[in-house]
Amino acid sequence: MMTKNASSRMQKLVLGITGGIAAYKAAELVRLLIKQNIDVQVVMSEAACQFITPVTMQALSGRPVYINMWDNSIANGMPHIELSRDADAILIAPASADFIAKLVHGRADDLLSTLCLARDCPLLVAPAMNKQMWENPATQRNIAQLLQDNISVLGPAAGEQACGEVGLGRMLEPEDLLSEVIAHFTPKLLHAKRILITAGATLEMIDPVRAITNLSSGKMGYALAQVAASMGAEVTLISGKSTLSSPNHVKIVSATSAEAMYLAVMQHIGQQDIFISVAAVADYSPAQAAAQKIKKSEDTLTLHLIKNKDILADVASLPNAPFCVGFAAESENVVEYADKKRLAKKLPLIVANEVTSAMGSDHNQVSLIDDAGIHHLSSAPKAIIAHQILEHIAKML
């Protein structure tokens, strides 16, 4: 079942909450969805009201919360029809074992189950239950049937559970569910494309405790990886040192130094369709790192630095090079220097930005430079900039 085309308006999501301790996570999920400009209509089972109140969900969503199938506040008296017809998708989070069984057998004995049965939009479920309940053969048969019925199953995750046991059955965290919802709504402009992305700063060791590095946080590269995966691409992210959470559905390869990143890129570049070089790779590194900590004995310290390999230039010069995209962070003459870099490395596209406004920030302002000219993008969160860059790449392809 395909998502309705709602690109010209706010996406509308029905969030169904069933009975389970994970219902408390639904409050944070609603907050995150609203923050992403997704219109949320909450529908709760009676059991869910034992764990979190409708008043809380109404305050967070800004909409009345529906529980009763016989609610006469909807004009035609058929909330199970009206609530689903305007929705782009329905997400059940948490989805209890009992509710999953209802879905499989087509039961419709309350508003939420009836709404799911009467829907004409995609259905996503986020299971949440004790590990034994999850592992029970009956539950596994039910999950298999959901998948066969083209219902998306998100999770569950493994970890400590409310009962004190540890294992599979935890509902995905709100941030992870948000990523899954965004991915569901994102047009698959890069379906089946294989994309290799580098991100973050490299560390060039001087001695066991000191290194040459820069202020890159990796946020732009990680945002591109997450959005590319949402657009249907098969993404490999080669990351320098970073404290960021791994993007969902992205293969992560760690590469701390410039040399390690070069080797990792060359190992994975074969059969890639697109290469996006976002990492702030050190231009130089110490010729030899000291085996022991260098003591502070002299007023000056001389380091012998050697030039590192140019990863992007070497990839772009390969006989069967993928579509290569470079990034140029400059402190002056941003567009001019970036375009010189693009022409020298024979790149179809380069992304230019002013270095002091981008490194470490959650926002960015960039210019896309290709053979057609310069395309200036307004300052925006890096996730939005990532969407705009990848949409531009998709058009060029």
Calpha distance 168→127 (Å, rounded): 10
Amino acid in the structure at residue 184: H
Quick one: CA torsion of 176, 177, 182, 187, rounded to 10 degrees? 100
Q: Which residues contact 353 (CB under 8 A, 6 or more apart)?
A: 327, 328, 329, 330, 334, 364, 365, 366, 367
Contact 367, 328 (CB under 8 A): no
Spot the catalytic one: 49, 116, 121, 163: 163
Q: Name 207's bridge partners.
A: 210
Tokens found for residue 12: 């509308």
Is residue 49 part of the annotated active site? The answer reads no
Contact 273, 235 (CB under 8 A): no
Question: 110: closest CA among 177, 44, 53, 209?
Answer: 44
Q: How buried is 181 (Cβ within 10 angstroms: 0-12 exposed, 13-18 middle, 19+ buried)?
A: buried
Which residues are catalytically annotated?
Answer: 163
